[in-house]
Chain A
């Protein structure tokens, strides 16, 4: 999980998100994976729209839904970690304003489904970063090849 000083936001350059009926479908173009987010996972995703710290997102959602005990926060941590591990979020330098956009009034544990059945279709060089001079893909300075 990111430290207190780490901030993440939607990885818009390589991830598209579409919302239908309270469910998000995310597609990671570079990795060939796609995802279904439901219940509190929708709130987790929304909270990172402008840039946020993982621990603060967890706290905000727990406060919003009056989640107590160990189970709910642990589920939120796992959900956030999936978003980070699957590169659906990217690191940013600073947080943005909090998002006041909630999925419902009641707590439902985050549900994340990962689909990797189309990964074989990905043979292109993954897209990483974009800038105004080199287009994409652009390898980050000193970046690795993984």
Chain B
């Protein structure tokens, strides 16, 4: 993980720095009760995690187990994270949110210091804090009761912190799936319901690999690459119907409209989860019943619209940086539309053929 060197902590925003330090202290003290420090290698950097609260530990680590590294590795961590489930661990709550906000209807608060060193986020609904101190390379998650966190959060734990960590680096999160073969991959971009996950599973079924189904890290430049972050694939009821043999491995299917089950690929088929690959093209799936399944050229602006808005709206606090990095990626890579008119296997075969063709 290429990260800029920590800067001297200019106190351009002392109120934010003080609040960040207070939440960090709370979390660090509480997590001392945990004997175990996890270490994960993510996007070529080391992230350590110490959690107070057993259930919360499973919540935060299950999707990252594929990236587990030996604690105490020689490499200095890019980030040390301390997490607390206050219901299990006890202790004082953080101070009240002190900053003004523009709309009381919104449930989440975000504050980023002008120097982009301190990030604070509060979810008022679940009383969950994320704080990040770039200069100290420390971050904390404090939640009032981890059992109240939505299940889907387990699909991409630490996503908020990773987004802030990567902001000044060449890498960024992307709301996209990646399918790959032989070290070469395609970035599948599109909002929920566009067919990314079903297509990804169909690709796995015919022997391809994946770096992730929902969020991956990408680096641009002359040789764009994707990096796996989470091992989860999210499938709705319709997608599970295509792959009934996966139902036994699905967790937390939920019952509401739009609810999705999670498949943890590192538990089901670890060899199909690829840590990283070079990217040869961006593909935007479109479900089009009745049309032939095919790959067609796509204007770059359409690829940008499929990739960037949903990424930045789901990963707040580094919007300008993320847009610039994903814009660069779109400029550099060929862009295609995958028109899905038939069974998912047809779409998978089209993608395998595109991979075999190279970047043309």
Instruction: Tell whether, in the assembled complex, residue B99 and residue A134 are in contact, meaning their CB atoms are under 8 Å apart.
Output: yes
Chain A positions 4-24 with a Cβ under 8 Å from a chain B Cβ: 16, 18, 20-21, 23
Instruction: Tell whether, in the assembled complex, residue B99 and residue A137 are in contact, meaning their CB atoms are under 8 Å apart.
Output: yes
Measured in the bound complex, the distance between the Cα atoms of B103 and A131 in whole Å is: 19
CB of A124 within 8 Å of the partner chain: yes
Chain A positions 32-64 with a Cβ under 8 Å from a chain B Cβ: 32, 34, 36
CB of B319 within 8 Å of the partner chain: yes
Instruction: Tell whether, in the assembled complex, residue B305 and residue A34 are in contact, meaning their CB atoms are under 8 Å apart.
Output: yes
Instruction: Tell whether, in the assembled complex, residue A135 and residue B308 are in contact, meaning their CB atoms are under 8 Å apart.
Output: no
CB of B65 within 8 Å of the partner chain: no
CB of B171 within 8 Å of the partner chain: no
Instruction: Tell whether, in the assembled complex, residue B108 and residue A124 are in contact, meaning their CB atoms are under 8 Å apart.
Output: yes
Chain B positions 68-116 with a Cβ under 8 Å from a chain A Cβ: 99-104, 106-114
Instruction: Tell whether, in the assembled complex, residue A21 and residue B299 are in contact, meaning their CB atoms are under 8 Å apart.
Output: yes
B88 to chain A, nearest CB (A): 26
CB of A139 within 8 Å of the partner chain: yes
Instruction: Tell whether, in the assembled complex, residue A130 and residue B114 are in contact, meaning their CB atoms are under 8 Å apart.
Output: yes
Chain A positions 127-146 with a Cβ under 8 Å from a chain B Cβ: 127-128, 130-139, 143, 145-146
Measured in the bound complex, the distance between the Cα atoms of B109 and A126 in whole Å is: 9
Closest to A117 in B: B191
Closest to B326 in A: A18
The contact string, 1 if C-beta is below 8 Å from chain A, for chain B 45-65, is: 000000000000000000000
Measured in the bound complex, the distance between the Cα atoms of B108 and A121 in whole Å is: 12
Enumerate chain B residues within 8 angstroms of A136, measured Cβ to Cβ: 111-112, 114
Chain A positions 114-129 with a Cβ under 8 Å from a chain B Cβ: 115, 117-118, 121-128
Q: A18-B304, A124-B106, A134-B15 are in contact. List 14 more A-B contacts (CB 8 A).
A: A16-B312, A20-B299, A20-B300, A21-B301, A25-B301, A25-B308, A115-B305, A118-B191, A118-B310, A121-B310, A121-B314, A126-B103, A134-B99, A145-B104
Residue total for B at the interface (Cβ-Cβ under 8 A):
40
Instruction: Tell whether, in the assembled complex, residue B309 and residue A124 are in contact, meaning their CB atoms are under 8 Å apart.
Output: no
Q: List 6 A-B contacts (CB under 8 A).
A: A16-B319, A16-B323, A18-B327, A20-B301, A25-B301, A125-B103
Q: How many of chain A's residues touch chain B, expressed as a range?
A: 35 or more
Enumerate chain B residues within 8 angstroms of A128, measured Cβ to Cβ: 102
Cross-chain contact of B12 among A127, A132, A138 (Cβ < 8 A): A132
Closest to B111 in A: A135
A29 to chain B, nearest CB (A): 4
CB of B148 within 8 Å of the partner chain: no
CB of A109 within 8 Å of the partner chain: no
Measured in the bound complex, the distance between the Cα atoms of B14 and A132 in whole Å is: 11
Measured in the bound complex, the distance between the Cα atoms of B331 and A131 in whole Å is: 33
Measured in the bound complex, the distance between the Cα atoms of B105 and A27 in whole Å is: 22
Instruction: Tell whether, in the assembled complex, residue A115 and residue B107 are in contact, meaning their CB atoms are under 8 Å apart.
Output: no
Cross-chain contact of A124 among B110, B114, B118, B327 (Cβ < 8 A): B110
Cross-chain contact of B114 among A115, A126, A135 (Cβ < 8 A): A135
Measured in the bound complex, the distance between the Cα atoms of B191 and A115 in whole Å is: 13
Instruction: State the total of A-B contacts with C-beta under 8 angstroms.
Output: 112
CB of B248 within 8 Å of the partner chain: no
A83 to chain B, nearest CB (A): 18
Enumerate chain A residues within 8 angstroms of B319, measured Cβ to Cβ: 16, 27, 29
Measured in the bound complex, the distance between the Cα atoms of B106 and A137 in whole Å is: 13
Enumerate chain A residues within 8 angstroms of B327, measured Cβ to Cβ: 18
CB of B32 within 8 Å of the partner chain: no
Enumerate chain A residues within 8 angstroms of B113, measured Cβ to Cβ: 135
B123 to chain A, nearest CB (A): 9
Enumerate chain B residues within 8 angstroms of A23, measured Cβ to Cβ: 299, 301
Query: Looking at A126, A131, A135, A138, which has the most chain B CB atoms within 10 Å of its CB?
Result: A135
Instruction: Tell whether, in the assembled complex, residue B107 and residue A123 are in contact, meaning their CB atoms are under 8 Å apart.
Output: yes
Instruction: Tell whether, in the assembled complex, residue A139 and residue B102 are in contact, meaning their CB atoms are under 8 Å apart.
Output: yes
Chain B positions 287-319 with a Cβ under 8 Å from a chain A Cβ: 299-301, 304-305, 308-310, 312-314, 316, 319
Closest to A14 in B: B319
Measured in the bound complex, the distance between the Cα atoms of B100 and A136 in whole Å is: 9
Enumerate chain A residues within 8 angstroms of B314, measured Cβ to Cβ: 121
A16 to chain B, nearest CB (A): 4
Enumerate chain A residues within 8 angstroms of B208, measured Cβ to Cβ: none
Measured in the bound complex, the distance between the Cα atoms of B305 and A32 in whole Å is: 12
Instruction: Tell whether, in the assembled complex, residue A34 and residue B12 are in contact, meaning their CB atoms are under 8 Å apart.
Output: no
Measured in the bound complex, the distance between the Cα atoms of B99 and A131 in whole Å is: 13
Enumerate chain A residues within 8 angstroms of B112, measured Cβ to Cβ: 135-136
Measured in the bound complex, the distance between the Cα atoms of B313 and A135 in whole Å is: 20
Measured in the bound complex, the distance between the Cα atoms of B12 and A125 in whole Å is: 22
Cross-chain contact of A32 among B301, B313, B331 (Cβ < 8 A): B313
Cross-chain contact of B101 among A27, A131, A137 (Cβ < 8 A): A137
Measured in the bound complex, the distance between the Cα atoms of B108 and A36 in whole Å is: 28
